[in-house]
Copies of this chain bind each other. A is one copy, B any other.
Protein backbone atom coordinates (compact mmCIF):
# COMPACT_ATOMS: atom_id res chain seq x y z
CA UNK A 1 0.00 0.00 0.00
CA UNK A 2 1.15 3.58 0.67
CA UNK A 3 4.76 4.01 1.58
CA UNK A 4 5.48 5.33 5.08
CA UNK A 5 5.33 9.10 5.18
CA UNK A 6 8.91 10.27 5.44
CA UNK A 7 7.85 13.67 6.64
CA UNK A 8 6.75 12.26 9.98
CA UNK A 9 10.42 11.80 10.82
CA UNK A 10 11.11 15.51 10.69
CA UNK A 11 10.49 16.13 14.34
CA UNK A 12 13.45 13.94 15.28
CA UNK A 13 15.55 15.21 12.41
CA UNK A 14 18.24 17.68 13.38
CA UNK A 15 18.65 20.35 10.67
CA UNK A 16 22.32 19.58 10.08
CA UNK A 17 22.35 15.94 8.92
CA UNK A 18 20.32 12.99 7.75
CA UNK A 19 19.48 10.16 10.12
CA UNK A 20 22.40 8.20 11.52
CA UNK A 21 22.52 4.47 10.98
CA UNK A 22 21.25 3.78 14.48
CA UNK A 23 18.39 6.22 14.05
CA UNK A 24 17.50 4.78 10.67
CA UNK A 25 17.47 1.31 12.12
CA UNK A 26 15.32 2.42 15.02
CA UNK A 27 12.89 4.05 12.62
CA UNK A 28 12.56 0.92 10.50
CA UNK A 29 12.09 -1.13 13.62
CA UNK A 30 9.29 1.15 14.82
CA UNK A 31 7.57 1.04 11.43
CA UNK A 32 7.76 -2.73 11.42
CA UNK A 33 6.35 -2.91 14.93
CA UNK A 34 3.48 -0.61 14.04
CA UNK A 35 2.66 -2.69 11.00
CA UNK A 36 2.99 -5.90 13.00
CA UNK A 37 0.61 -4.58 15.64
CA UNK A 38 -2.00 -4.01 12.98
CA UNK A 39 -1.52 -7.27 11.09
CA UNK A 40 -1.22 -9.50 14.16
CA UNK A 41 -4.29 -7.87 15.66
CA UNK A 42 -6.35 -8.56 12.57
CA UNK A 43 -5.10 -12.04 11.70
CA UNK A 44 -3.66 -13.44 14.90
CA UNK A 45 -0.19 -14.76 15.39
CA UNK A 46 -0.49 -17.85 13.23
CA UNK A 47 -2.67 -16.20 10.64
CA UNK A 48 -0.28 -13.33 10.04
CA UNK A 49 2.51 -13.79 7.52
CA UNK A 50 5.76 -11.89 7.66
CA UNK A 51 5.19 -10.97 4.05
CA UNK A 52 2.01 -9.18 5.09
CA UNK A 53 3.78 -7.42 7.94
CA UNK A 54 6.64 -6.32 5.72
CA UNK A 55 4.32 -5.10 3.00
CA UNK A 56 2.20 -3.16 5.50
CA UNK A 57 5.37 -1.43 6.68
CA UNK A 58 6.55 -0.73 3.15
CA UNK A 59 9.45 -3.19 3.20
CA UNK A 60 10.08 -6.79 2.21
CA UNK A 61 10.50 -9.89 4.32
CA UNK A 62 14.25 -9.55 4.52
CA UNK A 63 13.92 -6.26 6.39
CA UNK A 64 11.97 -8.03 9.06
CA UNK A 65 14.64 -10.68 9.49
CA UNK A 66 17.39 -8.10 9.69
CA UNK A 67 15.59 -6.48 12.63
CA UNK A 68 14.09 -9.46 14.41
CA UNK A 69 15.58 -12.91 14.77
CA UNK A 70 12.33 -14.72 14.17
CA UNK A 71 8.59 -14.34 13.92
CA UNK A 72 8.29 -15.16 17.60
CA UNK A 73 10.87 -12.51 18.41
CA UNK A 74 8.86 -9.87 16.60
CA UNK A 75 5.75 -10.98 18.45
CA UNK A 76 7.53 -10.72 21.78
CA UNK A 77 8.80 -7.23 21.05
CA UNK A 78 5.26 -6.27 20.19
CA UNK A 79 3.74 -7.55 23.40
CA UNK A 80 6.50 -5.99 25.43
CA UNK A 81 5.76 -2.60 23.93
CA UNK A 82 2.08 -3.06 24.70
CA UNK A 83 2.51 -4.35 28.20
CA UNK A 84 3.21 -0.92 29.66
CA UNK A 85 2.04 -2.56 32.83
CA UNK A 86 -1.68 -2.32 32.58
CA UNK A 87 -1.71 -3.53 36.16
CA UNK A 88 0.12 -0.37 37.23
CA UNK A 89 -2.43 1.82 35.52
CA UNK A 90 -5.16 -0.06 37.29
CA UNK A 91 -3.27 0.27 40.54
CA UNK A 92 -3.24 4.04 40.26
CA UNK A 93 -6.92 4.13 39.44
CA UNK A 94 -7.68 1.99 42.46
CA UNK A 95 -5.80 4.32 44.79
CA UNK A 96 -7.92 7.22 43.63
CA UNK A 97 -11.15 5.46 44.59
CA UNK A 98 -12.91 5.10 47.94
CA UNK A 99 -13.10 1.56 49.29
CA UNK A 100 -16.74 0.89 48.49
CA UNK A 101 -16.31 1.91 44.83
CA UNK A 102 -13.78 -0.82 44.03
CA UNK A 103 -16.42 -3.15 42.66
CA UNK A 104 -17.86 -0.48 40.44
CA UNK A 105 -14.45 0.33 39.00
CA UNK A 106 -13.66 -3.33 38.31
CA UNK A 107 -16.97 -3.76 36.58
CA UNK A 108 -16.43 -0.78 34.35
CA UNK A 109 -12.88 -1.88 33.54
CA UNK A 110 -14.22 -5.24 32.40
CA UNK A 111 -16.77 -3.62 30.12
CA UNK A 112 -14.18 -1.27 28.62
CA UNK A 113 -11.85 -4.14 28.07
CA UNK A 114 -14.43 -6.18 26.23
CA UNK A 115 -15.21 -3.23 24.01
CA UNK A 116 -11.81 -1.93 23.02
CA UNK A 117 -9.13 -4.51 23.63
CA UNK A 118 -10.36 -7.64 21.93
CA UNK A 119 -7.46 -7.90 19.51
CA UNK A 120 -4.88 -7.48 22.26
CA UNK A 121 -6.61 -9.96 24.49
CA UNK A 122 -6.45 -12.54 21.75
CA UNK A 123 -2.75 -11.88 21.26
CA UNK A 124 -2.18 -12.19 25.00
CA UNK A 125 -3.85 -15.57 24.96
CA UNK A 126 -1.87 -16.66 21.95
CA UNK A 127 1.28 -15.64 23.73
CA UNK A 128 0.15 -17.55 26.79
CA UNK A 129 -0.39 -20.64 24.65
CA UNK A 130 3.05 -20.32 23.11
CA UNK A 131 4.55 -19.90 26.57
CA UNK A 132 2.79 -23.04 27.77
CA UNK A 133 4.76 -25.05 25.22
CA UNK A 134 8.06 -23.17 25.45
CA UNK A 135 9.91 -23.29 28.79
CA UNK A 136 11.85 -20.09 28.07
CA UNK A 137 8.75 -18.05 27.30
CA UNK A 138 7.07 -19.61 30.32
CA UNK A 139 9.84 -18.35 32.55
CA UNK A 140 9.53 -14.90 31.03
CA UNK A 141 5.84 -14.79 31.72
CA UNK A 142 6.07 -16.15 35.26
CA UNK A 143 9.01 -14.01 36.37
CA UNK A 144 7.91 -10.66 35.03
CA UNK A 145 4.80 -10.13 37.10
CA UNK A 146 5.72 -10.82 40.70
CA UNK A 147 6.62 -7.23 41.58
CA UNK A 148 3.51 -5.89 39.88
CA UNK A 149 1.30 -8.09 42.02
CA UNK A 150 3.23 -7.15 45.14
CA UNK A 151 2.78 -3.46 44.51
CA UNK A 152 -0.86 -3.76 43.56
CA UNK A 153 -1.51 -5.92 46.62
CA UNK A 154 0.04 -3.33 48.91
CA UNK A 155 -2.10 -0.56 47.48
CA UNK A 156 -5.24 -2.59 47.98
CA UNK A 157 -4.19 -3.48 51.52
CA UNK A 158 -4.09 0.23 52.26
CA UNK A 159 -7.59 0.56 50.81
CA UNK A 160 -8.75 -2.34 52.93
CA UNK A 161 -7.59 -0.46 56.01
CA UNK A 162 -10.26 2.12 55.22
CA UNK A 163 -12.96 -0.48 55.68
CA UNK A 164 -12.56 -0.63 59.43
CA UNK A 165 -13.39 -4.32 59.57
CA UNK A 166 -11.64 -7.55 58.59
CA UNK A 167 -11.62 -8.63 54.94
CA UNK A 168 -11.20 -12.34 54.25
CA UNK A 169 -8.40 -11.73 51.75
CA UNK A 170 -5.06 -9.99 51.59
CA UNK A 171 -4.79 -7.22 49.05
CA UNK A 172 -2.78 -9.39 46.70
CA UNK A 173 -5.19 -12.29 47.03
CA UNK A 174 -8.06 -9.98 46.23
CA UNK A 175 -6.23 -8.52 43.23
CA UNK A 176 -5.49 -11.97 41.85
CA UNK A 177 -9.04 -13.18 42.41
CA UNK A 178 -10.56 -10.19 40.66
CA UNK A 179 -8.09 -10.49 37.82
CA UNK A 180 -8.79 -14.20 37.40
CA UNK A 181 -12.54 -13.71 37.61
CA UNK A 182 -12.39 -10.92 35.06
CA UNK A 183 -10.29 -13.00 32.70
CA UNK A 184 -12.60 -15.98 32.93
CA UNK A 185 -15.68 -13.85 32.39
CA UNK A 186 -14.11 -12.08 29.43
CA UNK A 187 -13.28 -15.37 27.72
CA UNK A 188 -16.92 -16.30 27.89
CA UNK A 189 -18.26 -12.83 27.11
CA UNK A 190 -16.25 -12.62 23.91
CA UNK A 191 -18.01 -15.71 22.62
CA UNK A 192 -21.43 -14.86 24.04
CA UNK A 193 -22.04 -11.20 24.98
CA UNK A 194 -25.07 -12.29 27.03
CA UNK A 195 -23.09 -14.76 29.11
CA UNK A 196 -23.76 -12.70 32.24
CA UNK A 197 -25.55 -9.51 33.17
CA UNK A 198 -23.04 -6.65 33.17
CA UNK A 199 -23.60 -5.93 36.84
CA UNK A 200 -22.88 -9.47 38.02
CA UNK A 201 -19.15 -8.86 38.13
CA UNK A 202 -19.64 -5.85 40.36
CA UNK A 203 -22.04 -7.75 42.60
CA UNK A 204 -19.55 -10.60 42.98
CA UNK A 205 -16.83 -8.10 43.84
CA UNK A 206 -19.02 -6.54 46.53
CA UNK A 207 -19.78 -9.93 48.02
CA UNK A 208 -16.10 -10.80 48.13
CA UNK A 209 -15.51 -7.54 50.02
CA UNK A 210 -18.41 -8.16 52.39
CA UNK A 211 -20.30 -5.14 51.11
CA UNK A 212 -24.11 -5.18 50.89
CA UNK A 213 -25.12 -6.67 47.53
CA UNK A 214 -28.72 -6.42 46.54
CA UNK A 215 -29.76 -9.05 44.08
CA UNK A 216 -31.39 -7.09 41.29
CA UNK A 217 -33.75 -8.51 38.71
CA UNK A 218 -32.65 -12.13 39.03
CA UNK A 219 -34.85 -15.01 40.13
Counting CB contacts under 8 A, is A77 at the interface? Answer: no
Asked if A196 and B218 make an inter-chain contact with CB atoms under 8 angstroms apart, the answer reads no
Q: Which of B43, B170, B188 contacts A218 (CB 8 A)?
A: B170
Asked whether A47 lies within 8 Å of B133 as measured between CB atoms, the reply is yes
Tell which of B128, B166, B191, B203 touches A168, judged by Cβ atoms closer than 8 Å: B203
Known: A173-B200, A219-B170. A142 touches B44 (CB 8 A): no
Interface residues of A in 155-204 (CB under 8 A from B): 166, 168-170, 173, 176-177, 179-185, 187-188, 190-192, 195-196, 200, 203-204
Whether A169 lies near B208 (C-beta < 8 A) is no
Q: Which B residues touch A208, using CB under 8 A?
A: 204, 207-208
Are B176 and A188 in contact (CB-based, < 8 A)?
Answer: yes
Q: Are A181 and B191 in contact (CB under 8 A)?
A: no
Asked whether any CB of chain B lies closer than 8 Å to the CB of A131, the reply is yes
Interface size on A, residues (CB 8 A): 48
A183-B173 in contact (CB<8A): no
Rounded to whole angstroms, the CA-CA distance of A168 and B191 in the bound complex is: 26
The answer to whether B192 and A142 touch across the interface, beta carbons within 8 angstroms, is yes
Q: How many copies does the complex hold?
A: 2
Among B46, B141, B182, the residue within 8 A (CB) of A46 is B46
Residues from chain B with Cβ under 8 Å of A109 in the complex? none
Is B173 in contact with A196, judged by CB distance below 8 angstroms? yes
Is A19 engaged at the interface, CB distance under 8 Å to the other chain? no
How many angstroms between the C-alpha atoms of A188 and B149 in the bound complex? 12
**Docked-complex contact A122 and B126, CB < 8 angstroms:** no
- CB-defined contacts of A166 to chain B, threshold 8 Å: 215
Residue A29 is within 8 A (CB to CB) of chain B in the complex: no
**A31 CB-CB contact with B under 8 Å:** no
